[in-house]
Amino acid sequence: MHLGSKEAGPKIAAIFSIVESCRKLDVPIRKYLSDVLPGLADRSIQTLNELTPMAYAAKAAE
C-alpha cells in the first residue's frame, strides 16, 4: 500500500490498530471515535488508558 511518505506509515498503523480493535470487540467504530475524539486534547496523558477500545467496551458493558 502506498502511503505517500514514510512518516505516514506509523500513523496509519495506529489508526488501523484502533479500527481493528473496535471490530474485534464489536464496538461501533464511528460511535467510539465520536465519543473519544472530542476533548482528547484536554485529557492528561495518564488518563489515556481509559480511552482504549477495550476500556470503552468494558464501560459500555456496565
Q: What's the Cα-to-Cα distance from 6 to each of 14, 18, 20, 43, 57, rounded to whole Å? A: 14, 20, 22, 29, 32
Which residue do the cell numbers 468494558 mark?
A: 58
Give the pLDDT score at 9: 84
Q: What is the pLDDT of residues 33-61, one digit of tens each?
A: 999 999 899 999 999 999 999 999 999 99
Give the pLDDT score at 7: 82
Residue 2: which pLDDT band, with cuts at 50, 70 and 90? low
Give yes or no for a contact between 25 and 54, defined as CB atoms under 8 angstroms apart. Answer: yes
Question: What pTM does this model have?
Answer: 0.81
The three cell numbers of residue 7 are 512518516
Cα separation, 19 vs 61, whole angstroms: 19
